[in-house]
Amino acid sequence: MNQQTTKGSGIKKRLLGLTPTELKELVGGLGMPSFTAKQIVQWLYEKHVSTIDQMTNLSKQSRQRLADYYEVGTMPPIDCQRSKDGTIKYLFPVCCDSISTNIPSQTANSQFVETVFIPDHDRATLCVSCQVGCKMNCLFCQTGKQGWHGNLSAADILNQIVALPEEDRLTNIVFMGQGEPMDNLDAVLKACEILTADWGFAWSPKRITVSSVGVRGKLKRFLDESQCHVAISMHSPLHEQRLQLMPAEKAMPLEETIALLRQYDFTHQRRCSFEYICFGGLNDSPLYGREILRRLEGLECRVNLIRFHEIPGVDLPASDEKRMEALRDYLTSHGITTTIRASRGQDIFAACGLLSTARQNELKQ
């Protein structure tokens, strides 16, 4: 690291998102005692400080030396919207040096992502984003309509948690916000490592669910390197129809994804689930129930049925409650635990498939 250049540039790097190994190398480069790395880890991930000055067991000299080149890097949300059902959607800034993009940034925080806090009695789930936009371009998803503008770093993923006003209430995290987690796998795995490591947040992996459309090679790596739950976006058990709904079906057919999942053990604490948006008259009939059963036979899993939330310019019908209940009951009676996910935050565009950066554009005007 060219410390003089970094210091003189006025741009400080972030400590948030670094592992003990990285921090040990960092403090060594600054001429600080090696044990300082462990202290910084505790301040970042156990005590969740927002400034280096709060790291009071570091010497004043060490804190100053660290602050010359680094900052904790937490950034509060710049906007929030509250639903009548208690759901809260936050708009978080993303540091320009965390974005992999060819679009030049004019300000330090020129990109934003949405994060959704979902309270439900004694449970509180946070739906986090991992990309600005998304490459998958699923027909039914608003996020994909904005295109892809970059990957979030582990720091920006974690910031959605540590800078959340309701952080202390969280019981679960789902990577089901903006972006495809397997398309930004390094950052997602690093964030999950920090969330679950004894030296990090010390969360149980069973409190974290990571979703995917199924990305060749990346999904296998995630299954091998993480013990977090996995949720696969199915939405149709038929190849041609799924291809129309989800272009990713061409590169990673559902059949191959399921074959991969069969190589792993989901009979204990780790869970495998399939997300299934119900479109009226398109994929919600008993025929589809039978095809889902055929595909998933013998695989320990569950199915979550999701209501379709209409988005502009997409002519897809929503399934009605009776058809969804019939599909749920059919699958459950044949051995696959199936639930209908409650729609939350639809009035603030926080429900499944509705996240975008439209609010960012409104604030700029």
Catalogue the active-site residues: 114, 352
Let me know: does 277 contact 140? Beta carbons within 8 Å: yes
Specify whether the CB–CB gap between 229 and 272 falls below 8 A: yes
Looking at the chain, how many residues does it have?
A: 365
3-state secondary structure of 279: strand
Nearest to 212 by CA among 130, 311, 113, 314: 130
Instruction: Give the C-alpha separation, 214 to 206, whole Å.
Output: 20
Q: Is residue 307 within 8 Å of residue 324, measured between CB atoms?
A: yes
Q: What are phi and psi of 126, to 5 degrees?
A: -115, 125
Q: Which two tokens stand for residue 306?
A: 């999701």
Give Cα 36 to chain centroid, integer Å: 31
Burial class (CB in 10 A: 0-12, 13-18, 19+), 281: exposed
